[in-house]
Amino acid sequence: MRPWAALAAATLALLGCRQEMTRQRRLNTFSATTIWRDGTTARPLPEGVVARGDLARDAIAATPPPVDAALLARGQERYAITCLPCHGAAGDGDGMIVRRGFPRPPSYHNAELLAAPARHLYDVISQGHGVMFSYASRVAPSDRWAITAYVRALQLSRHATLADAPEAAERLP
Partner 1 sequence: MDEDLNEIREPGHVRVGAVLGVGLGTILFLAATLGLLPVYIRWMAVPPNAPPQPERFPPPRLEADPTAELRALRAEQAAQLEGYAWVDRERGLLRIPVARAMEILAARGQAAYAPLEAPSP
List the alpha helices (DSSP H) in 34-117: 54-62, 69-78, 84-87, 96-99, 111-114
Longest dimension (CA), the chain: 108
Q: Which parts of 49-68 interact with partner 1 (CB under 8 A)?
A: 64, 66-68
End-to-end CA distance of the chain: 107
* Choices 15-23, 24-32, 42-50, 146-154 (CB under 8 A): range interacting with partner 1: 146-154
Q: How far is the CB of 155 from partner 1 (least distance, A)?
A: 5
Q: Which is nearer to partner 1, 77 or 136 (CB)?
A: 77
Half-sphere exposure of residue 70: CA atoms within 13 angstroms, side-chain side: 3
Q: Which parts of 77-106 interact with partner 1 (CB under 8 A)?
A: 88-90, 92, 94, 96, 99-100
**Quick count: other Cβ atoms within 10 Å of Cβ 45?**
8
Residues that bind partner 1 (CB under 8 A): 64, 66-69, 71-73, 76, 88-90, 92, 94, 96, 99-100, 111, 114-118, 148-150, 152-162, 164-165, 168, 171-173
